[in-house]
Every structure is written in structure tokens, then in C-alpha cells.
Amino acid sequence: MDIKKEVGEAIKKALEELGFSKFKIDFSLEQPENLAYGDYATNVAMVAFKRFRPKTDRSLDEKVKNPLDLARKIIEKLNKQLSAFSIIAKVEAVPPGFINFYLSQDYLFTTILRSIVVKEKFGGSQMGKGKTVVIDYSSPNIAKPFGIGHLRSTIIGQALCNIYSFLGYRVIGDNHLGDWGTQFGALLCQIKLKIKSEKLKVEDLTINDLERLYVEFHQEVEKNPDLEVEARKWFKRLEDGDEEAERIWQIMVDISMKEFKRIYGLLGVSFDVVLGESFYVDKMAGVIADAQDKGIIKESRGAKVINIPGVETPAMLVKSDGATTYFLRDLAAIKYREKKWRPLLMIYEVGADQIFHFHQLFAVARMLGYLSEGKLIHVAHGMVRGLGGKLSTRLGKTIHLEAVLAEAIGRAEELAKKAGVSKNLSLRERKKVAKIVGIGAVKYSDLKQNPKTDVIFDWDKILTLEGNAGPYLQYTYARCKSVLSKKENLFLSTRDDVMKIILPKYQPNFDELAIARIICHFEEVVKEAAKSFSPNLIANFLYDLSQKYNNFYNQHRILGEGGKKEQLRLLLTLAVAQTLKNGLNLLGIDVLEKM
């Protein structure tokens, strides 16, 4: 059951009965940060009183002098509706006019037990059954080492794939490789020059060599601008199917893919399809034909462009020299994906520096009739900063992701040694822990932040066993598992046992109820993360849950209490472990049974 939706509908019905049916009232129904204010709270009475009170029935005016009075009137109507709604235990009005809702203890512990029964499925749903979502993410450029700049798209995109799959959607994760375009003309030109002057063998090149050659080309262009013309000619030869150009290009692709697969293996990232820009080369003519049929393609100084209403800069499909653009290939990709998968949504997890490109792209796609309004989504992430400012391959300032991950693993190993958390582990186990903790820390430091914001890379904040960091969450999970491992033959009761035997004999205290209450919101948070394309909501939830469990752990004894108290606390510990594991898995972060 979607409790938030049900309560929202009940509030709307109460407003109608009070004479507000003629007015649209935008109110919020949120989860308060302070659990003392309930599991849900709404400002509806204050909004309604301020904007619409004078226009309602006069008999109501005489009895309602302020928002708190109106909140009480709304609750009178709500109580009649919610009397059979056993999920809500209490509804109260508090100054200056908030209405707070408290979930019933029956519902709280039914949910706790469900988390244990359904295990890895807890928090998921089938709301997306029969619906398809295409997510375009990562998309590194061929012939360049995987840089830190592609980290955000890769891990945010993977998290979105995980979240939508968890909610029952058919997800197509597409790695749209940058394997075509004018940059390959530059590389072909430089490689041919070096073959002549340095006896270079293309087959012996590494991905680092390709990056170096690309940087050297732009350095030499500053001395000899004619090289730009030569590079454009080489790309034209590639587009025209020149055998030598294609051979060298394919070698560059093979070298790059081998490196990318290794990095994806480290990150635990996978794709359903890997279709680079080159896949759409033979599909571009169809897009041009569609634009001609619609009468929207124009000639401008020899180039083929489309003017977009309200946008000063036209979208360029073909350059004046006849070379095609990645804009045209992106349109071909949209057309192909729509025809092949018929997606509900097509989500692009690409940096904020491409906002204008996607604004143009989506507008033209709609003009061509490929996809309707609202189906094309750009999740525009901010930049990674703190490791040398904005990064540029052209200037030779790329920070390779592999080096960052290696540093994270090394620091994680040192952290574990200093904290003494791995003292009882073998060397092999310590290496495994360091890898999982280090890579998890890098991922979490990114995913805990809103995708739109810039990420400040701070090693001291990324790798810590305290505060909002990946290692802290992983350690909390390991702590739960450690507690549970000390209780042999753990038997956790059925719902009836909990409701009729355990709870009547031991009523949970505030800290125990706090854990149960937050876990009950997990599925709701997952849905909201999908709706808003914000994995950080799940990260924030997991941090809150970890804090509450660790506070409970430090304040109360779990093992050795015996009886119903111990059984209930073990029940909560198992539910926390399962929820943390499920949430971290959605973020693409592994857990550890012991640390």
C-alpha cells in the first residue's frame, strides 16, 4: 500500500467536505526530520486558511479563527475516514497548524518482519511492470583513458538502472561510446605523422599513447594551424569508408574497450547494450530524410541546420564540409531506441556542461515526432572538483580514474590498520576489505550528493568510519552481522508471535521504535529516488538509519537481555542489516560480513 498516497487522498476528501472543493490547494505531506512530530506531517491547514478561508461556507468561518482550528476540523473529518485505516494510529494538530500522522505499531512491526521474509526484495515493487526505461550513461570517449570526469555519469547511471529495475521496470542500460567524430581525424592525422617520423606501429599503442598523441596534436596545431585542415580530411576519409582510416580506428576502439572493461570490472558496473556513435552512422540518412519530410531542415553557409523556435543558435546536423555531427547521431539514437524498445522514459545521465545540447536535442526530437514531451530526461550532474580543477584531456590534465581507485584502496587499507578493524583478518581478507571499502567510499561520496551539485573530492571526508561516508555504513552493516553471528539458532517469530506474545510483554522504547519507523519509509524513498532521478535520497536514508541503529547500539544492550526484549532487538538488528544491504546494493556498493 502507498501510505503517502492514501493519506493524501484522505486529506483531499476532508477538504471537500469542509467546502474547499472549488479551490486547488497545493499542500505537502512530508516525513518530519524529528520523529517526535510523527511519521508524516502536512501544512495543508495553514495553506488553506491563508488563501481560501474567506471564500468557504460562512458556518465554517464562525468556528475557525486560525490555522490550528482548521487543522482540528480537518482531523475530525480524517478520523471518520481513517477509523478503518489501521495503519495510522494517531492524527494530531499542533501549533501553528500542522497535522501530524503516526503509524501504528502493528504496521511498523509487520513491515520489520516483511523485510526479513522477502530479504533482497524488501523496498522494491512491481510498479514498473510492463514499462521500459532506457538509461544512457558513462559514455567514455574512445582513445582516452577512463578519467575521473566520467565517474559521476557511470555510477549515478548505474544506480538509476538498479533503482528502476528494483521497482519492476525493464531497464536498458546503454553505454553510448564516443567512438566517432572529428577527434578521430586529429588522432588519425597525428598517428600517420608519427608513423613516418618515428616508425610508430599502431598495433603497439596503449591507451596512454593515444591520449599523449591527442595532446601532442593540439600542441602542434598551435604552431601549424594547417594540421586542423588535414585532420578534417582524415575524418572525412573515415566517414567515407577509407580502408586505412577504418583499420587504424578499429585498433583504437579495441585498445580502449579492453581498458574500459577492466575499469568497469573494478567498479562493478555493467551494461545491457554498448552502442557507440559509430553504430548510428548508417542511420543518419534516415534522420535527414525525416527532417526534409517535415520541412524543417535548412541550408546555412553550406551546413544543414534546424532552427528551433525560441532558441537563437540553430542545431547543426551536417557541417559545411559534409562531415556529420554528434547531434545528428544523437537524433539517430533516439529514433532507434524508440522504435526498438518503446520506452516510457529515455534518461541521459550526462554532465551539466551539456545542458544546452540536450535542450536542443530534445526540442528537435519532438519536432521530428520521435518522442513526446516528458519522455526525454537529462539528469545533469555537476563537475568533480578538488583534484586539480576542471579537467581537460586536450591540455593533458586528465586524472585517470584507475589512479584514484588505487589511491582509495590504499587509503582504505591504512584506515583499517589504524582503526584496528581488520586485526583479526587474514592478509587476503584485508586486501578484499580494502578494495570493497575504498571503491565503495569513492562511490558513496558522490552518490550521497544531489547529482546537480559539484562534487568536492576530499579524501579525509571520503574515507572515515565516522559521519556520512561509505565506510561508516559498511561498518554499521558489519556490526549488525557481528551481533547476529553471536546468537546461534536464532529463531525470529511470525507476525502473530510478535503482535500477540513479544510486544504485549515488552513494549519498544523510543530508540527501538525510531529504527522501525525509519525502515517503514524505505520503499517510499526508493520510489521518490526514481521519480526525481536522485540516488542521493537513498544514501541519505541509509545514513539516517545507520545513525539511529548505532545510537541504539551504544545506548542499549542487545545480547544477554534474554526473553522478549532480546528477541525484539535481534529482530530490529536483522531488519537494519537487510535494509542497509538492499540500499547499498542499489547504489552499487558492496557490503562486508565483517570488518
Please write the tens of the pLDDT for every residue from 98-109. Answer: 999 999 988 998
Cβ(455)–Cβ(390) below 8 Å: no
Q: What is the structure's pLDDT at 395?
A: 46
Q: What confidence tens digit (pLDDT) does each residue in 163-174 have?
A: 999 999 999 999
Q: What's the burial of 506, exposed, middle or buried (CB within 10 Å: 0-12/13-18/19+)?
A: middle
- For range 197-201, the mean pLDDT: 77
Q: Tell me how many degrees the CA angle 489-490-491 measures, rounded to the nearest 5.
A: 110
Mean pLDDT across the chain: 89
DSSP-assigned letter for residue 498 = I
**In this structure, which long-range contacts are made by residues 554-562, counting pairs with CB atoms below 8 Å and at least 24 apart in sequence?**
555/511, 556/509, 556/511, 556/512, 558/483, 559/483, 559/486, 559/487
- CA dist., res. 557 & res. 412, Å (int): 30
- CA dist., res. 31 & res. 200, Å (int): 63
At residue 33 the predicted structure's pLDDT band, cuts being 50, 70 and 90, is: confident
Half-sphere exposure of 477 (CA within 13 A, CB side): 22
Choose among 31, 32, 64, 30: nearest CA to 48: 64
Q: What is the structure's pLDDT at 502?
A: 65
The residue whose grid cell reads 531497464 is 171
- For range 335-353, the mean pLDDT: 97
- For range 541-570, the mean pLDDT: 92
> Quick one: which H or E segment has residue 379?
strand 376-381
Q: What is the structure's pLDDT at 419?
A: 76
Domains of the chain, first to last: 3-103 (3.30.1360.70), 401-586 (1.10.730.10)
Q: What is the structure's pLDDT at 563?
A: 80
Q: What is the structure's pLDDT at 252?
A: 96
- For range 215-223, the mean pLDDT: 92
Res. 120: pLDDT tops 80? yes
- For range 312-327, the mean pLDDT: 92
Is the entire prediction scored with pTM above 0.75? yes
Grid cell of 17 as nine digits: 467536505
Q: What is the structure's pLDDT at 398?
A: 66
Res. 381: pLDDT tops 80? yes
Q: What is the structure's pLDDT at 391?
A: 44
- For range 441-461, the mean pLDDT: 90
The residue whose grid cell reads 531488519 is 575
Q: What is the structure's pLDDT at 200?
A: 77
Grid cell of 523 as nine digits: 520503499
Res. 481: pLDDT tops 50? yes
Q: What is the structure's pLDDT at 490?
A: 58
Choose among 159, 276, 211: nearest CA to 530: 159
Res. 56: pLDDT tops 60? no
Q: What is the structure's pLDDT at 457?
A: 77
β pairing state of 303-306 and 297-300 = antiparallel
DSSP-assigned letter for residue 272 = S
Q: What is the structure's pLDDT at 416?
A: 82
Q: Which residue did the predictor score with more confidence, 436 or 384?
A: 436
At residue 463 the predicted structure's pLDDT band, cuts being 50, 70 and 90, is: confident
Q: Tell me how many degrees the CA angle 158-163-168 measures, rounded to the nearest 5.
A: 125
Q: Which of 19-33, 216-230, 259-273, 508-522 has the lowest mean pLDDT?
A: 19-33
Q: Which residue did the predictor score with more confidence, 527 or 15?
A: 527
- Side chain identity at 552, as an amino acid letter? F
Q: Which of 45-54, 132-141, 400-409 has the lowest mean pLDDT?
A: 45-54
Q: Terminal CA-to-CA distance of the chain, rounded, Å? A: 37
Cβ(535)–Cβ(448) below 8 Å: no
H helices of 463-562, in order, are 470-485, 495-497, 503-505, 510-519, 522-532, 536-555
The residue whose grid cell reads 476528501 is 13
Q: Distance between alpha carbon 336 and the CA centroid of its chain, in Å?
A: 25
- CA dist., res. 351 & res. 137, Å (int): 10
- Tell me the C-alpha to C-alpha distance, in Å, between residue 412 and each of 116, 439, 448: 31, 9, 19
> Quick one: which H or E segment has residue 185?
helix 182-198
Residue 521: which residues within 8 A CB-CB, separation 6 or more?
31, 39, 541
Q: What is the structure's pLDDT at 217?
A: 94
- Tell me the C-alpha to C-alpha distance, in Å, between residue 259 and each of 206, 269, 439, 507: 9, 14, 18, 57
- Side chain identity at 44, as an amino acid letter? V
- CA dist., res. 160 & res. 156, Å (int): 6
- For range 115-133, the mean pLDDT: 95
Res. 55: pLDDT tops 70? no
Cβ(183)–Cβ(141) below 8 Å: yes
Choose among 436, 570, 458, 579: nearest CA to 517: 579
- Side chain identity at 48, as an amino acid letter? A
Res. 352: pLDDT tops 80? yes
Q: Which residue did the predictor score with more confidence, 181 or 334?
A: 334
Res. 449: pLDDT tops 60? yes
Res. 380: pLDDT tops 80? yes
β pairing state of 170-174 and 297-300 = unpaired
The backbone torsions φ and ψ at residue 348, rounded to the nearest 5 degrees and listed phi first, read: -110, 115
Helix 105-118 to helix 563-586 angle (10° resolution) is: 60
Res. 392: pLDDT tops 70? no
Q: What is the structure's pLDDT at 435?
A: 95
Residue 407: which residues within 8 A CB-CB, separation 6 or more?
459
Q: Which residue did the predictor score with more confidence, 159 or 181?
A: 159
Cβ(29)–Cβ(3) below 8 Å: no
3-state helix, strand, coil in the chain (%, to 5): 60, 10, 30
- CA dist., res. 507 & res. 497, Å (int): 14
Residue 520: which residues within 8 A CB-CB, separation 6 or more?
39, 103, 107, 108, 111
- For range 453-460, the mean pLDDT: 84
Other beta carbons less than 10 A from residue 222's beta carbon = 8
β pairing state of 88-94 and 98-103 = antiparallel
Other beta carbons less than 10 A from residue 319's beta carbon = 18
